[in-house]
Amino acid sequence: MAEITLVEAVAMAQVRAMQDDPTVLVLGEDVGRDGGVFRATDGLLERFGPERVIDTPLAEGLIAGMSVGLAAQGFRPVAEIQFMGFVYPAIDQIVNHASRLRNRTRGRLSCPMVLRMPMGTGIKAPEHHSESMEAMFAHVPGLRVVIPSSPMRAYGLLLAAIRDPDPVIFLEPTRIYRAVREEVEDHGEAAELDRCFVLREGGDITLVTWGAMTRETLAAADALAEEGIHAEVIDVATIKPLDEDTILQSVGKTGRCVIVHEAALTGGFGGEIAARLADRGLLSLTAPVRRVAGWDTVMPLPRMEDLYLPSVARILKAARETVSYQ
Amino acid sequence: MKPETDIGTPDLDPRRYWPLLRYLDKAGAAIAPLPDGLDDRDILVSLYRAMVTTRTFDQKAVSLQRTGRLGTYASSLGQEAVSVGVGASMHKHDVLLPAFRDHGTMLWRGVTMTEILQYWSGDERGCDFAGPREDFPVAIPVASQATHAVGVAMAFQLRKEPRVAVCIVGDGATSKGDFYEAINACGVWKLPAVFVINNNQWAISEPTRMQTATPTLAQKAVAAGIAGSRVDGNDVVAVHDVVSRALDEARRGRPQLVEALTYRLGDHTTADDARRYRDDAEVSARWQEEPILRLRNYLVGRDWWGKADEEALIREVRAEVDRAAEAYLALPPQEPTAIFDYLHETLPPSLAGQRRMVEDGDG
């Protein structure tokens, strides 16, 4: 079993899904001959041919819209948007059509499509390439929003997303595309959607996070352990629909919670989790819920992006304050 | 270095390159022999009946809206020939991706009047067509259905099925990126798709000249590398002929764009008052060339239609429309929990809680 990167796991899951199901198609800009600008579709064209691996014109609205048409016709399109910052022309299709087709036809037509796209900062990319807009999609009824945090989960969750009968927004944190290697068995088994993963158990504080921020959060948990503070770390993975029970259960045990995300603070998905805790977990809380998030600024150009990104130090500070709250 | 030629104005003279195909003149007289197969009483009467049905249905829908028994409704008054002509040209197994004013096409395809009324009353069950199960529901965002047609046509191409995706858009839709992205992609992939521009000359208050500087909309096909043509959209014979040929071409992998030139005699929707932006004189002139009168004049001229036929038809169509309206008004409402039940194939646990609250009346 080979150790592979997250982006290789994404490619592996797509190969597996295409082998298993002839209705799975991959489409997008540069996904064929070039294998995707991040190589997430590398080798697919040679393996499955141009009828199943389709290089599209440079038109995001088209990519999302034609996926709706293909999905309604019984295919399972897995479409790539090259960077999340370029998804906006496709928003009309995602919000008004993909997410609603089943509902507006009372189930006559459905939309089993996956829209994959890299998200987030950390690779010194140009302007518009580094934002984390997951909360925008999470707000849309009818969508699933999935964010893997490791090669293994990328493989399992992408398989699950492709096999899901409804539209899934699959966000791939570019910062950890190649930063971690992990043994991933190509067993063809999907991971469970709509479930949080407990990455580390602990009884003193719950750290809730997703995507690339799991790295800093786990590093913070390590540092806290050295101080005798045992943090439970939860990878939300599917932010919509949210598995609030796992989070509530953990906070029921620890009484304390810090939510960590890369996206801007205001209107970020951490606010939703904090609200759920206030609604259903208030009496188990022994300290206010804190959020460590990106600033409410435009994502700075690469020279300043580290300043934007929540650091281990910021997570540690919030965690210590929460644990020592009287 | 000096350029060899000046940059000039484009030479796309509509008279030379984009002739308007027409068989019946504005008064309903044949100006050319009718195409093979269409110079037939039964066929022409079926088209006539469908146009009359569409108009009668429209009138009923508007009156239901005016009496508070239907939501906002978009009438197709004056555009029946485009709507019916497109529907009649399609094969049963083709797939329609309509705009929100294509009731005539939908009715021809087998969507019921009751379903259309149900949709415009605000009940999603109206899009669960008992009839053409693969046809798309109307798209309210303008031009967005054009890219769906690309996916549908690609599905046909991949499965090597002799089917066509037929997408109808309005003139305003041609100003949108989605429209161009769709026809462009169909050109690249040679997909079996036909785009019909139902050019009724008004996008709410904006006339076509405020949508485009091009003399025709058909010529938009040039940039996409596909075939474009123009037809008199008030001549159902011409619409049927041109769209049928476009469908044949598309079935052979040659995507088509057809501009059907018609006129919206009514308001944009029941929420609109076209008198705010449009002269009465313009509208009354357009009544002289409307499609139903035009075909009736032709039929009468051929002794294929008379007063008794007309009276019988009106009687039958009114009865049919009334029955549909009664059926619509008698429909039981959806269960309140239905708002949750089609969001996903399986209801996620987090939504199950909200559904229970609605079920318990805690909403």
Q: What pLDDT sits at residue B225?
A: 96
Residues B92-99 have a mean pLDDT of: 98
Looking at the predicted structure, is the pLDDT value of residue B297 above 90? yes
State residue B17's pLDDT score.
78
Which residues on chain A are in Cβ contact (under 8 Å) with B141? 92, 96-97
**Considering B103, B240, B268, B355, which one is annotated as catalytic?**
B268
Put simply, the answer to whether B349 touches A194 (Cβ < 8 Å) is yes
Instruction: Give me the percent of chain B exceeding a pLDDT of 90.
Output: 93
The question of ipTM being above 0.85 is answered as yes
On whether any CB of chain B is under 8 Å from the CB of A109, the answer is: yes
Cross-chain CB nearest to A142 (options B124, B344, B349): B344
Contact residues for B50 (Cβ-Cβ < 8 A; gap 6+):
B80, B84, B87, B88, B104, B107, B108
Residue B6 is predicted with a pLDDT of 58
Is the predicted pLDDT of residue A24 greater than 70, yes or no? yes
- Cα separation, B84 vs A142, in Å, equals 34
Interface contact flag, A103 B124, Cβ < 8 Å? yes
> A88 pairs with which residues across the strands?
none
CA distances from A295 to A122, A139, A305, B18 (A): 15, 20, 11, 56
Q: Look at A62 and B144 and tell me if their CB atoms are within 8 Å.
A: no
Structure tokens at B100: 């929100």
| Interface residue of B93, B344, B347 to substitute, partner A, most A CBs within 10 Å | B344
Q: Determine which of A102, A104, A144 to mutate to test the interface with B (most B C-beta atoms within 10 Å).
A: A104
pLDDT digits (tens, 9 = 90+) for B28-64: 999 999 999 999 999 999 999 999 999 999 999 999 9
Q: For residue A270, what pLDDT is reported?
A: 98
pLDDT in tens, A93-126: 999 999 999 999 999 999 999 999 999 999 999 9
Q: Does A297 touch chain B (CB under 8 A)?
A: no
Set of chain A residues whose Cβ sits within 8 Å of the Cβ of B149: 69
Asked if B277 is an active-site residue, the reply is yes
Query: How many inter-chain contacts (A to B, CB under 8 Å) are there?
Result: 139
* Average pLDDT for chain A: 97
Averaged pLDDT, B97-102: 97
Q: Which two tokens stand for residue B214?
A: 């091009």
CA–CA gap between residue B202 and residue B271 (Å, rounded): 15
Alpha helices by DSSP H, listed for chain B, are 14-17, 41-66, 80-89, 103-109, 113-120, 144-158, 177-189, 220-224, 236-251, 280-287, 291-301, 307-329, 338-341, 349-359
Choose, out of B118, B148, B188, B341, the residue to mutate when testing the contact with A (most A CBs < 10 Å).
B148
**Tens of pLDDT, residues A43-84:** 999 999 999 999 999 999 999 999 999 999 999 999 999 999
Q: Is A66 on the interface with B (CB under 8 A)?
A: yes
Distance from C-alpha of B318 to C-alpha of B315, rounded to nearest angstrom:
5
**Interchain pair B349, A245: CB under 8 A:** yes
| C-alpha A109: how far from chain center | 26
B268 is a catalytic site residue: yes
Residue A300 · residue A307 · CB < 8 Å: yes
Residue B166's pLDDT is 98
- Using a CB-CB cut-off of 8 Å, the residues of chain B touching A97 are 139, 141, 144, 148
Give the pLDDT confidence of A138-178 residue by residue, as tens digits. 999 999 999 999 999 999 999 999 999 999 999 999 999 99
Rounded to whole angstroms, the Cα distance separating B233 from B294 reads: 11
Proportion of chain A in helix, strand, coil states, percent, rounded to 5: 40, 20, 40
For residue B8, what pLDDT is reported?
A: 58
Cβ-based interface (< 8 Å): residues of B facing A: 95, 97, 124-125, 127-129, 133-134, 136-137, 139-141, 144, 146-156, 158, 165, 177-178, 181-182, 184-185, 188, 338, 342-345, 348-351
Kindly state whether A110 is in contact with chain B, defined as any CB-CB distance less than 8 angstroms.
yes
Query: Looking at beta carbons, which residues of chain A come within 8 Å of B125?
Result: 106
Q: Using one digit for the tens of pLDDT, what is the confidence trace for A186-222?
A: 999 999 999 999 999 999 999 999 999 999 999 999 9
Q: Is A165 on the interface with B (CB under 8 A)?
A: yes
User: How do residues A226-277 score in pLDDT, each as one tens digit?
Assistant: 999 999 999 999 999 999 999 999 999 999 999 999 999 999 999 999 999 9
Residue count (chain B)? 363
Among partner residues B148, B181, B344, which is closest to A69 by beta-carbon distance? B148
pLDDT digits 0-9 by tens, A193-202: 999 999 999 9
Q: Are A69 and B147 in contact (CB under 8 A)?
A: yes
Give yes or no for residue A1 having a pLDDT over 80: no
One-letter identity of residue B293:
L
State the nearest Cα–Cα gap between A285 and chain B, in angstroms: 21
Name the residue among B163, B220, B222, B217 with its Cα closest to residue B193.
B163
Residue of A51, A62, A75 lying closest to B147 (CB–CB): A62
Query: Between β-strands A290-294 and A197-200, what pairing exists: parallel, antiparallel or unpaired?
Result: unpaired
Give catalytic status of residue B264 as yes or no: yes
pTM of the model: 0.96
Judged by a CB distance cut-off of 8 A, whether residue A286 touches chain B is no
Does residue B11 register a pLDDT over 90?
no
Annotated catalytic residue, options B66, B93, B275, B277: B277
CB B46 within 8 A of CB B237: no
8 A C-beta contact, residue B255 and residue B43? no
pLDDT tens digits for B137-188? 999 999 999 999 999 999 999 999 999 999 999 999 999 999 999 999 999 9
> A228 touching B, CB under 8 A?
no
Phi first, then psi: what are they for B274, rounded to 5°?
Answer: -65, -15
